[in-house]
Amino acid sequence: MAASLDEIEQQARGLTAEERAKLAETMLESLHAPIDAEIESAWAREIEDRVAAFDRGETPAYAAEDVFAEARRLSR
């Protein structure tokens, strides 16, 4: 029979701080969907294309302070 959540929680509290941290990390990672290699590859190509376009001067660049000032203005 599977252990109840309460039983698992009690057992986890008996672990060392390091073991609890590792358990928490493992549990959080389990919530994320597995990375699709095809999607990851497509994003890598997109990033490379965008960087290349920027390097060729085809993409405008804005100073961070201007971007943040505009964001503050729009959020008011």
Q: Are residues 5 and 25 part of one domain?
A: yes
Q: DSSP label at 14?
A: T
Provide the pLDDT for residue 74.
Answer: 96
Quote the domain boundaries for residue 60.
37-75
Say which residue the tokens 């993409």 belong to: 59
Q: Are residues 24 and 54 part of one domain?
A: no
Query: What whole-number percentage of the chain has pLDDT above 90?
Result: 87
Mean pLDDT of 44-51: 98
0.75 exceeded by pTM: no
Q: Are residues 47 and 71 part of one domain?
A: yes
Domain count, the chain: 2
12 and 20 in contact (C-beta within 8 Å)?
Answer: yes
Q: Are residues 49 and 19 part of one domain?
A: no
Provide the pLDDT for residue 75.
Answer: 95
